Amino acid sequence: MGKENRITYITVRIIVAIMVLFMLSIGARMFAREFLVGRLDSENPILEVIFFDSETLNTSEEGSTEKRNRSEETVDVDWVSIYPFESSRNDHVVHEKVIELSVVNNLNEKVYAAENKVVAYATHHLVGYKKFIETVNVYKKLIGWDINPPDEYNPVVFIEDDYLGRVYRIFDVTGICERISALKDFTEDSGTEFIFVQPPAKICAEDDESGVIDFSNSNMDDVLEGLEENNVNYMDLRKELHADGKDHHDSFLASDHHWKPETGLWAAGKVAEKLNECVDYNIDTEIFEESHYDKEIYEDNFLGSQGTKVSMSVIGPDDISYLYPKKEVNYTLEIPTIGICETGGFDIIYDFSYLEEQNIYERNSYAVYMHGLRAMSTIKNNNIEDGSKILVISDSFNLTTAPFLAQGVGQVDSILLDYFDGSVYTLIKKGAYDAVIMMYSEMSEFSTGDAFALRFNFK
């Protein structure tokens, strides 16, 4: 055997040996997580050896790019039975299509769950995975490599040294405008005011990346233009943010896609102003000024979805605030899917169990607000007896908006269409709301295909 052949022979076998070791470690960790965790103490020597490089023994099946957004739900709520779909005007055809899509979606979720479990063991739970990722990201930052495939999940770029952003490609927003306009028509025909609220994108329209590699703002412009053509009443918080002299980047968490809780408080004030204008409410908007709140700050506590992706080797965790109004409130909080019906002060909107997660890559400090993402939640303000009542259709940005807005309204119902699968039309008819507010941050990625049709089927 020649010298070159011998080197090739040895190299190939070393590579194969490394691959076999990784495969064995994957098998060992999968077996341990699936069958030993929960049966053995977390400090058991066997588990400590198998998970020697883990900060904590986290049993989540999700990868580190996915935070725990919902704690385990304890009550199975059949939203379709409570808020059934219409059977007239050919709506039964739409309903059948939604059921069909729901079945497909449930099957896809099971496939994705199985796939994600395998992928998680081959990536996030792999021996030395975080060190590999940290080393790669340090190298990428060192050479200035900031290019991400636009179709990649959560494509993250550095807007500033300590500020991350997600880039969006151009989308056809025709479907979005049609669905929202139809919902507006139905809502107003029911005698209820409809308001669309556009939160700001994390990347500012004035950033160099906007219109070059990121098109979130142009997509939002297209949505609002389409809604204006259909006479939809809307409010653009991007313009309001700059009009109030707020720093766009400082309004967001540096390592996450969400705005800061302080920005959610500010947004609640803007929505209150709009309600005063459109529904003849008389909300005291001074209650949304930050000076009227005590603040509990957890420093270096939250590494958001974007920071988790690039790792702590290139960006540190955010401080996160939990705000308490100085003026006493009396709320009743109802969250059916976790069996919550509790009356008390403002603190009942918080679930600090999310902070018990010791691994910062898995901790979701943002979900402390409103007990995380839920299909439906209700805040009743027991100090207001004027019968005022609104519905908010929104995404996770509403976690830090609804609890503050409820200080000025008798009842605030919130639904998240990712989990609420009943008829929004029926909910609006039954609810007898003064106003329906739809507030979505960046929904252009759902503008086409079955995912959009299912998520934004309002009937």
Cα 348 to Cα 362: distance, rounded to the nearest angstrom: 24
- Judge whether 364 and 69 are in contact, CB under 8 Å: yes
How confident is the model over 261-278, as a mean pLDDT?
Answer: 98
Least confident of 23-32, 376-385, 409-418, 422-431: 23-32
Does pLDDT of 73 surpass 70? no
What local confidence, expressed as pLDDT, does residue 31 receive?
A: 78
What local confidence, expressed as pLDDT, does residue 62 receive?
A: 37
Band of the pLDDT at 131, cuts 50, 70, 90?
confident
What local confidence, expressed as pLDDT, does residue 238 receive?
A: 97
Cα 85 to Cα 94: distance, rounded to the nearest angstrom: 9
What local confidence, expressed as pLDDT, does residue 304 receive?
A: 93
Q: Which strands sit side by side in the sheet containing 193-198, from one edge to the other? A: 234-236, 193-198, 435-439, 389-394, 411-415, 376-381, 331-335, 340-344
Band of the pLDDT at 38, cuts 50, 70, 90?
low
Band of the pLDDT at 295, cuts 50, 70, 90?
very high
pLDDT, one tens digit per residue, over 152-182 is: 555 788 888 789 998 888 888 888 899 899 9
What local confidence, expressed as pLDDT, does residue 428 receive?
A: 96
CA 322 vs CA 265, 297, 317, 347: distances in Å: 11, 6, 16, 9
pTM for this model (two decimals): 0.80
Does pLDDT of 95 surpass 60? no
Cα 41 to Cα 249: distance, rounded to the nearest angstrom: 44
Report percent pLDDT > 70 for the chain. Answer: 76
What local confidence, expressed as pLDDT, does residue 286 receive?
A: 97
Q: Backbone phi, then psi, for 273, in 5-degree steps? A: -60, -40
Provide the token pair at 370.
Answer: 């409103």
Does pLDDT of 49 surpass 90? no
Band of the pLDDT at 118, cuts 50, 70, 90?
low
How confident is the model over 343-372, as a mean pLDDT?
Answer: 94
Does pLDDT of 316 surpass 80? yes
DSSP 214: B
Least confident of 145-149, 192-196, 208-212, 288-292: 145-149
What local confidence, expressed as pLDDT, does residue 451 receive?
A: 45
How confident is the model over 450-457, as a mean pLDDT?
Answer: 51
Looking at per-residue pLDDT, the higher value among 240 and 53 belongs to 240
End-to-end CA distance of the chain: 74
Cα 373 to Cα 394: distance, rounded to the nearest angstrom: 11
How confident is the model over 343-352, as a mean pLDDT?
Answer: 98
- Judge whether 306 and 339 are in contact, CB under 8 Å: no
253 exposed, middle or buried (CB, 10 Å; 0-12, 13-18, 19+)? Answer: buried
Closest C-alpha among 408, 178, 393, 416 to residue 274:
408
Cα 412 to Cα 458: distance, rounded to the nearest angstrom: 19
What local confidence, expressed as pLDDT, does residue 152 receive?
A: 59
Helix (H, G, I), strand (E, B) or coil at 36: helix
What local confidence, expressed as pLDDT, does residue 412 receive?
A: 98
Band of the pLDDT at 75, cuts 50, 70, 90?
confident
pLDDT, one tens digit per residue, over 215-252 is: 999 999 999 999 999 999 999 999 999 999 999 999 99
Band of the pLDDT at 448, cuts 50, 70, 90?
very low
User: CB 21: neighbour CB atoms within 10 A?
Assistant: 11
How confident is the model over 328-339, as a mean pLDDT?
Answer: 97
Band of the pLDDT at 135, cuts 50, 70, 90?
confident
- Judge whether 426 and 83 are in contact, CB under 8 Å: yes
- Judge whether 26 and 50 are in contact, CB under 8 Å: no
Compute the half-sphere exposure of residue 190: CA atoms within 13 Å on the CB side of its CA. Answer: 22
Compute the half-sphere exposure of residue 348: CA atoms within 13 Å on the CB side of its CA. Answer: 19
Q: Backbone phi, then psi, for 5, in 5-degree steps? A: -65, -35
What local confidence, expressed as pLDDT, does residue 296 receive?
A: 98
What local confidence, expressed as pLDDT, does residue 58 receive?
A: 46
Helix (H, G, I), strand (E, B) or coil at 390: strand
Diameter of the chain measured on Cα atoms: 92
Least confident of 118-127, 158-167, 236-245, 267-276: 118-127
What local confidence, expressed as pLDDT, does residue 314 receive?
A: 83
Cα 411 to Cα 433: distance, rounded to the nearest angstrom: 9
Report percent pLDDT > 90 for the chain. Answer: 54
